[in-house]
Amino acid sequence: MQNKVFLIAQPNSGKTTLFNLLAHENHYVANWPGKTVEVFHAKIKHHGKEILLIDLPGINSFKALGKEENLTKEFLLKEDEGVAVVLVNGESLYRSIYFAVQVLELKSRAILVINKSDHLERKGVHINLEIMKDKLGVEVVQISALHGTGVNRLLDRIIDVLEGRVKGKGFRIDYGVLEPYIAKAEELLGRRGLAIKAIEGEEEVIALLSEDKKSAVEEIRKEIEEKFANPEEIIATHRHRFVENLLNIAVKEVKVAKESFEEKLDRIFFSKFGALFSLLILFGMLYVAFTVNTGFPMNILMRYLGYEAIADFLESYSLSGIISLIFESIAEILNSLLPDSALKSLLINGILAGIGAVATFFPLILILNFLMSLVEDSGVMARIAISMDRFFSLFGLTGKSVFPFSVNLACNVPGVMASRILESDGERLRVALASPFLICQARLLVIVLFAFFFLKSPALQSGIVILIYLLSALLFLTATRIYGKAVKEETAELLIELPPYHFPSAKVVWWISWERSKSFILKIATLLLLFSILAWIMDYFGFASFIGAFIAKIFSPLGLEDPRLGFALLMGFFAKELIISSLAVSFGTSSLAEISSQLALNTAQTLALLIFIAFYTPCIATISAIKSEVRSYRLITLSIAFQLLVAYGLALLIFFLFSI
């Protein structure tokens, strides 16, 4: 079997616990080839991929080793074979990482695993895995082997490395004055890692060399000693400096709150009203984020109470309002300066419209992720998961599902990716597939704008938004049950270690907020810009009306027969924001009031349109994210078809109810 995975760690790192967790009852003992040392093996499967897991003996260091430790050392000095999973003890980060960097110098196909995350959480220690990954040049995963958390994520990364989807950039420490000498030794031995070990005086490496090469290495060592100092000491100093710097920039320990405060809050979270308290926190964050970004729902509340001036202020001076005003001003300036031409139309209606959509949505996602990270970093999110566990268990889920549930309310792309925290494959796949039913901000903004401009009654405006959110949650939970018939529905149990309450760290909050929000720029922003340009091209050359007319026939039972609206719904399949930009291009105006007037939809038609927009496939980026998680075209096709069927069926029902 070629898919070999080797577990390597210092003693007491939890390596045996991890091996037993992965191996279940499938492990066996066999002698290492050419040795009398017995090593544990296990054949396991993950996503249909068979893996031979090998538990190498624990090794404290590269010095004074016994027979079993020498076996591990021998493996490390060989050419790369399989994938090395290097376990780091979360209780002694400095010592473990110092050992790990020596392994990474020798093994390029490796994954660093930080174990005992439960201990780190209790101590208020946060590790920025992205910084670790960047500095070490390999995938970095955080787990608790004792509680089984993060193990599925580890197996996913192992498969990625085995199949070549993830390739480390290679680990390298700059040894300063020794670099020219390391380069000379590397020419002799062929590998940088072996060259460093030879200069350190590693006997097992030198024993592999011919007499000529031994002499050459010895000359290099002597020259270093004469010019500088003992090469082993120089190398150790640089390694220690590297590890200290890495821990300084990637690890943050925050102040833990007093026990009495923790007990008071826990009494609320774990009471019979805990789930309601948790929902108030989550929806309170949504309320703040949406009000700051769009003015909604505070604007509707103010208008309902008769404070029109405050409502107008919130709408005009929300972040999205300010950004839209800036781009409208730029468009007006360009329109007055540039002569009429296809290039001018492309620049204003295609490129500028696309960039404007990106700029409008990014602050919304960043702020909500910021608020979510405050809750996570304070230790509150674990309590929310436990308080919601009983409710989610009715649908075969654990309380941990509240986390991807909440992230999906910001954006479905990171929401789908957040399903990786779920421990069972069945729960993870079901949540990923059902995530598109949860309303993200992109759809929310379209829904709010359409409700505001297409419906006249404030009560109906707020009522339809509330109804859509309630339907969204119900559809998500119901869909996870339905998808359980298509995937292996495992019994999920909540395994979670309660971290202590602590004050959120600004540094950690920024790490979390930015890492989640940048996926918007990397995945969604590019698509928005490209498809905005595509919408302009199709409209400019007359394809939009032809395609729109064909699609409009499908929606004629809903009274939505305008080809321009049909084309906008097609573009909404790629990104919901494109519904507005494509309508703006088709109608020749960015004013939704003018577009609403020209469409002249009645209440039943508008409500049907809003329901369909809310629940059909959110965007192509979400489909891409689901594909990366489920890795099955059959399940992706099933998911898209189910979303379209549900969206159309509900829209048809709403249309007939309000047409009576």
Residues 98 and 155 occupy one common structural domain? yes
Residues 450 and 484 occupy one common structural domain? yes
Please tell me the predicted confidence (pLDDT) of residue 608: 95
Q: Residue 179's CB: how many other CB atoms inside 10 A?
A: 9
Please tell me the predicted confidence (pLDDT) of residue 173: 94
Which CATH number fits the domain that encloses residue 23? 3.40.50.300
Burial (0-12, 13-18, 19+ Cβ within 10 Å), 307 = middle
In a domain, 60, yes or no: yes
Q: Residue 458's CB: how many other CB atoms inside 10 A?
A: 16
Residues 583 and 648 occupy one common structural domain? yes
Q: How confident is the model at residue 356 (pLDDT cuts 50, 70, 90)?
A: confident
What mean pLDDT do residues 463-488 have?
89
What is the chain's mean pLDDT, rounded?
84
The residue written with tokens 């960097």 in the block is 101
Residues 88 and 216 occupy one common structural domain? no
CA–CA distances in Å: residue 402 to residues 30, 409, 435, 625: 44, 11, 11, 19
Please tell me the predicted confidence (pLDDT) of residue 36: 47
- In tens, the pLDDT along 34-64 reads 554 568 888 998 888 899 999 988 887 777 5
The answer to whether the pTM exceeds 0.75 is no
Residues 544 and 632 occupy one common structural domain? yes
The DSSP call for residue 254 is -
Residues 286 and 200 occupy one common structural domain? no
Which CATH number fits the domain that encloses residue 214? 1.10.287.1770
Q: What is the span of the domain harbouring residue 533?
A: 521-659
Highest mean predicted confidence (pLDDT) among 93-102, 283-292, 541-550: 93-102
Total domain count, the chain = 4
What mean pLDDT do residues 230-237 have?
93
With 90 as the cut, is the pLDDT of residue 8 above it? yes
Please tell me the predicted confidence (pLDDT) of residue 115: 94
What mean pLDDT do residues 381-410 have?
84
Residues 404 and 311 occupy one common structural domain? yes
Residues 385 and 445 occupy one common structural domain? yes
With 60 as the cut, is the pLDDT of residue 490 above it? no
Please tell me the predicted confidence (pLDDT) of residue 551: 92
Q: And the tokens for 13?
A: 């790192």
Last residue of a domain, one of 98, 129, 162: 162
Residues 558 and 633 occupy one common structural domain? yes
Range of weakest confidence among 248-252, 302-306, 422-426, 654-658: 422-426
Taking each helix axis from N to C end, the angle separating 129-136 and 231-250, rounded to the nearest 10 degrees, works out to 150
3-class SS string, 489-524: CCCCCCCCCCCCCECCCHHHHHHHHHHHHHHHHHHH
In a domain, 8, yes or no: yes
With 90 as the cut, is the pLDDT of residue 85 above it? yes
Residues 590 and 628 occupy one common structural domain? yes
Name the phi and psi angles at 181, rounded to 5: -75, -35
